[in-house]
Amino acid sequence: MVNRVLLWATNNPRVQHQMTENQFARRVSHRFVAGERLDEALEVATSLNSEGIGAILDMLGEGVTDLAGATHAVEQYEEAIAAIAERSLDATISIKLSQLGQTVDRDACVANLNEILDLAQNAGVRVEIDMEESGLVSDTLSLFREAVTKHPETRLAIQAALRRTPLDLEAMASLKPRIRLVKGAYAEPLELAQQGKNEIKAQYKYLTDWLFQYGADPAFGTHDGELIDYAKQAAVKAGKGPQDFEIQVLYGIRRDLQHELTAAGYRVRVYIPFGEAWYPYLTRRMAERPANMFFFLRAVVGR
């Protein structure tokens, strides 16, 4: 119930306005968001790299309403790519196709995506494509399939909670896709997505096995110790070592886990969000893990 309320709040303009204008809420958001500027995210990435941990830079914001907004997003992504290359950081960028004009002008989105992928490839920076709400899944999969013909190092996020995901992956088996497997953080109806924790975990485990068999360089985006342990065991069964897959975690959550996994020889990458659109991101993180909500509320009231 709490999760559904938080996901509702994500898209409620009135609640969003109240929270983004709250100075304490903005301050506490920095626990989970690197900052509003690219240079703040780069500082976090540099610090993580010094500890042997990789980074993913994620510019917050979903969807644009015109091509001018898409052009602005492309410029920001390209600025991030150039900065990563200039500083020789172990960092990728994570992009949202809705920011590139996917729902405004598909042809423009394709051109924007190819421009980013070409620049990133020339700079030696890898790109990860986020998966968004269910209504965009089919088109995102199509765009990914087109992209990897020229840019095979591109990785795609896949949501374990969606009922369609096993079939979507089966359809891509011939590509040996690079996938980031996540549980899913969107409020989807029962007919489209698993709702129970046990059901989602069961599908996550099934897809973990699938990725070790048919995918390439899989990444597992989770803080769930049970699922991380399962990925470790599945890797051993598949004849893979700690460096043959990646554990991806969110900035500000389970820092102890990041260091524990790194010390054990596993590849770890931290998802670093930055930008002004921090509110929707933050509410989704709280919906995923209620403990984050309680931390946030305690900080807002000064306790």
Distance CA 296, CA 9 (A): 15
Distance CA 208, CA 45 (A): 27
Angle between helix axes 290-300 and 2-10 (nearest 10 degrees) is: 60
SS3 assignment, position 117: helix
**Which among 126, 155, 178, 180 is annotated as catalytic?**
180
Report H helices in the chain.
2-10, 13-20, 23-29, 38-50, 67-87, 106-123, 137-148, 165-171, 197-214, 225-237, 255-263, 278-288, 290-300
**Which among 130, 168, 217, 254 is annotated as catalytic?**
130
5 Rama class: left (phi>0) / alpha (psi -120 to 50) / beta: alpha
> Is 155 designated active site?
no
Q: Is the dihedral of CA 21, 255, 195, 166 positive or negative?
A: positive
> Is 284 designated active site?
no
Enumerate the active-site residues. 130, 180
